[in-house]
Chains A and B, each alone.
Chain A
């Protein structure tokens, strides 16, 4: 869990009051394999599993400053926390009109895309099975708008574009279902049935317990077991770098976080 890693963990304690909500049963929730307290976990790409996890950063009055769908590596999450901090300063500024604040919000959300490093963009590429699902089920998705020949935007770009369209919205009015809707509703890496080389025991995994809104997986065209070739794994097994395990280098861009 990237929230437990630095620099995010310190930022949580310093800038946030934290809370959690189990979204099992919500219409927008997806499904995944069920893991117990000592179950394996997997480090994956930014934005993976958007129906199963949403990380909201709110002002103290419940206004949504930023929202990250799915998993995010700790260094990229920290950059987004920094943006939320800046947006909170705008939201709290009583000398600005609501219209001015909304303009700042849109501008800063879109400008943040330009500050994403190439490495962050690489960590934010939709995985093959999600991309294929998106092409088949949402050919007019904003992931493809303006990108010809089957190319797709990365999740870190789309999330800011979607946020820019939701300037300072109250949490209770935030349309989570539309905001986090991309990729497959079922996100399961079968971690507990995977060995250290990445190989999955498909036979054992077939009867694994599931969690979440299992009805969401019964949509037309849904295929529970993704083609392993679409998972984007390094088949050679030589590259085992784990997303999110890198520590934040000293002096990295903080986007206005107070020291």
Chain B
């Protein structure tokens, strides 16, 4: 009885949901005990595990991701194990033995970690000031979030003009007599770091602000009633509740900063000081046409990033992760 319906549904998944759930508690059909006493139909057994026709709605999305993401990733891993010469790990050995290549790991981390850390830590006091409701909050938030739309190229362009030796920044410092000759802030590490902060800060701030608004303000008031001073309230109430959110923000900021590519090329020193992994991978693929090496670097890039994320998550796992009592929780 059940078979024809199952067979007809894949063409009309729209008719699926809810019915299997209604049917699940029914006893097995009368004919069943004769054939196999303890075996309810497969469909029912699957439904008990939450697998029913509603999951067909997931199918297009999952299939798309498998085709466009998972398969290419595995293809890339496979490609990285088929080097042009040598054994299957020859590419990985080549990467780690060549300081010009393996140095990119350190150069990427040296940019991404401080940028992400700065963006998160700078957001905390500002978000703390901005929590709660007051007039102008929306305007100020919008101004702080605006740089999200600037895009890496405009920021890079602006950094070249503004922080350049003849830019306004150096001019003001020279006029004030703070420096004797222009600071060198572009085409090196600092230019890239600035661009990562300008593009990454608004994003980190937005996240931290939303976590901060999610903390129930009455908790702090209760602490104040019990005699806690402002610093104690921040250190014992707000920060512990905020810490897991900060970890998440750090991860997402780190992901953004880790894939730095355009700014490292435009305002950095892509041949040396800011030759990050993304540049190395791009050069291998589209300048040397060595797709196996490019895939190797891409795989390593993902691996190194996931290691950092895993470490942060481990640390986060040791903290309080319950809800924070506020509207956002």
Q: Do A and B come from one complex?
A: no
Chain A residues with CB under 8 Å of chain B are none
